[in-house]
Amino acid sequence: MAQALGEDLVQPCELQDDSSSLGSDSELSGPGPYRQADRYGFIGGSSAEPGPGHPPADLIRQREMKWVEMTSHWEKTMSRRYKKVKMQCRKGIPSALRARCWPLLCGAHVCQKNSPGTYQELAEAPGDPQWMETIGRDLHRQFPLHEMFVSPQGHGQQGLLQVLKAYTLYRPEQGYCQAQGPVAAVLLMHLPPEEAFWCLVQICEVYLPGYYGPHMEAVQLDAEVFTALLRRLLPRVHKHLQQVGVGPLLYLPEWFLCLFARSLPFPTVLRVWDAFLSEGVKVLFRVGLTLVRLALGTTEQRLACPGLLETLGALRTISPAQLQEEVFMSQVHSVALSEHDLQRQIRAQLAQLPESASGPPPRPQARLPGAQAIFEAQQLAGARGSTRPEVPRIVVQPPEEPRPPRRKPQTRGKTFHGLLTRSRGPPIEGPPRSHRGSTSFLDTRF
């Protein structure tokens, strides 16, 4: 495994080009009628057979059995064995079980259970004409070489239209963002429309709040955070990007908003999503840093990019051999970026934002860091009888002031008779009682 963000690049064996799995506006609107689809549904793709480094069939069956066992007792698994879930997500969820695992990881199954019939009502309701026209123009651009989205009247494009329309009705204040198209399309490749809708809701509101609204305030904040991480982890690359005038907003929004669905080979996209739904936005930063290092990590690569256009081209044309899923994801998980480091950078950049910035301020505290935090928030909301997940808060009580130690009364040298003579209180009324020995010892007669 390569060192985290080092200068040397891992040189895996040559693979066939998987670029046909990428959806882009420049691709044709429809493929030839007799071309064969690969194992992911892309017509004419080169992923018909697993590439080098792909786990053998026996290992895949073992992982499938582990996921079946974990998902059969999901609450117990998330409460006691989340580390195992995270490690299995890093290894990759088996293709046959992604439809079962993704809604569990992101908490969409709880949202769907708490809101029965909501999606049906939204799907049957008429949409806003403004958003419907915009969505309709973008449908053919989402993975045009995938067999689900070839025909305008097919179930893929029609399902995508219903899911995106339902979200504009569910959150009318946010409306529709073009980057939601490829995200919803990937979900529809694996899930029914209703489950895909609730997964989209969780991604937009829990994983990436503030990304798909009209102001995209969280994207701007994360761009500054990414620049700070580049400065700390890849100082030479950061200096080169500054010299040629390539800011993070020129390449980062397409990566983060689309969850790399348009930037990586599709098998690698699925592995990124497995880790992202488990560990949260930290995975996106790790993937972005890895891509920048692969494109500009060596001196020769930087010398070959003397200007802005050459640098942007290098970021967009990384060799598919370097993006092969097993090799690439091993480098992603080796990036020296923890959740604590990311939150510290977010707080630092949030404090530096100008107060006169237009639009609402970003709210990074509304973003939950992965499946475990979402599960705990939903468990807490369920215990309170609420259907809306809340961020659990830890209340630390201040320590009590130490009490002085109890002192033992000083009775040394004091007799019981002395204590009686010093006792306070009103005299006892009534006839005097005769006590033996009340007279003086010298007056006693024998």
Mean pLDDT value across residues 46-73: 81
pLDDT at 71: 93
Least confident range from 61-70, 351-360, 374-383: namely 351-360
Distances (CA, A) of 30 to 43, 153, 195, 403: 10, 13, 27, 80
Residue 42, φ and ψ in degrees, nearest 5: -85, 125
* Integer Cα distance of 1 and 53 in angstroms: 13
pLDDT at 20: 38
pLDDT at 419: 46
pLDDT at 85: 95
pLDDT at 393: 54
420, pLDDT greater than 50: no
23, pLDDT greater than 80: no
Q: Which of 79, 2, 17, 28 is nearest to 51 (CA)?
A: 17
pLDDT at 441: 43
Q: Which of 254, 260, 252 is nearest to 276 (CA)?
A: 260
Mean pLDDT value across residues 130-153: 91
Q: Residue for token digits 């908003």?
A: 257
Mean pLDDT value across residues 411-439: 52
Q: pLDDT averaged over the chain?
A: 83
Token pair recorded at residue 325: 């899923």
pLDDT at 32: 47
Please work out, in degrees rounded to the nearest 5, the angle formed at the alpha carbon of residue 199 by the alpha carbons of 193 and 203: 140
Question: Which amino acid, residue 263?
Answer: S
445, pLDDT greater than 50: no
pLDDT at 386: 52
Give the single-character DSSP code of 42.
B
* Integer Cα distance of 335 and 342 in angstroms: 12
Contact 118, 111 (CB under 8 A): no
What's the pLDDT tens digit per position in 296-349?
A: 999 999 999 999 999 999 999 999 999 999 999 999 999 999 999 999 999 999
What's CA 191's distance to the chain center, in Å? 20
442, pLDDT greater than 50: no
What's the pLDDT tens digit per position in 92-113?
A: 999 999 999 999 999 999 999 9
What share of the chain has pLDDT > 90, as a percent? Answer: 63
Token pair recorded at residue 203: 């991604």
pLDDT at 364: 82
pTM: 0.78
Q: Which of 143, 141, 142, 138 is nearest to 42 (CA)?
A: 143
Top mean pLDDT of 18-32, 303-317, 373-387 is at 303-317
Token pair recorded at residue 185: 């399309």
Token pair recorded at residue 213: 């609204």
pLDDT at 39: 87
Mean pLDDT value across residues 17-43: 56
Please work out, in degrees rounded to the nearest 5, the angle formed at the alpha carbon of residue 443 by the alpha carbons of 439 and 446: 110
pLDDT at 421: 47
* Integer Cα distance of 446 and 438 in angstroms: 16
